[in-house]
Structure 1
């Protein structure tokens, strides 16, 4: 019985595969990644103007246990609620004035409340973007304001979605 030993000079040589059909390289986008369903924070207030509730519940969801501290979560929701508390009463006043004058202005009196509501949504989105950059992206989470269909009716509402960012396999070679 004879054993063929490799030449020691060729031991460290790296050979490139010429035949592309035999090469089985999987790109990163084809790798399956496990991401849990996003956490949906629905409005918990008693006033809703064009789908935007006047506050969100500060109760810590159990799904986020181990991902984020309850104090950080409560601080973030409190910042969103403070923004809503500052902006929504003005929107409601303009909505009432717009509804009273709606017949005379052929609906144009509702434009100010639509613009104010859009400005409120943008300020919340900027606040959530700031929170993401400050903390949540480092923790593998992404907060965003999203429009969803209500569970009880066909109306739309704005909710805060807390998405889990996919984990990339860092031990996989390039």
Structure 2
């Protein structure tokens, strides 16, 4: 792949956006969905693609599931921390990077940016629900009794905002019930 191809590929993927570039060493896309940086090392031997996902403060409680995702699901993209930001990062030797692989990385990076922290949050929630189920079963509780306990915790403000409107409360509790139903027999 050649450096001049980067601009044309980015313009193809982001036709409505301006591709900002500087000396064919870095490129930037900013729109309402993504901020994407493509950087070449000074000697043009390494290419790095980055997108900010969230602040470190927002991601703090999700670092374990994010690092597990690095091991299991992120494919060629990794989560990394730098400058108080959680980033989606891709590194590759520029001389051996195929054009098709670069396109796929950009598309994958868009996907990672759009999902943000939601997947890691869902993973953490599922892990917590599994712990609740295990604890309930250890105490000999039924699924129904476990749900009643969760409902009481919610009413006491331990699982969310006590001042939510009734519809939000119903949606929240329905979500808990669905998760209990889905995971109860697995634990």
With a CA cutoff of 8 Å and minimum separation of 6, indicate the structure with the bigger relative contact order: 1
Q: Which of the two has greater helix per residue? A: 2
- Shorter chain as normaliser: what TM range? under 0.3
TM value normalised by structure 1: 0.26
Larger-Rg structure: 1
Relative to its length, the structure with more strand (as a share) is: 2
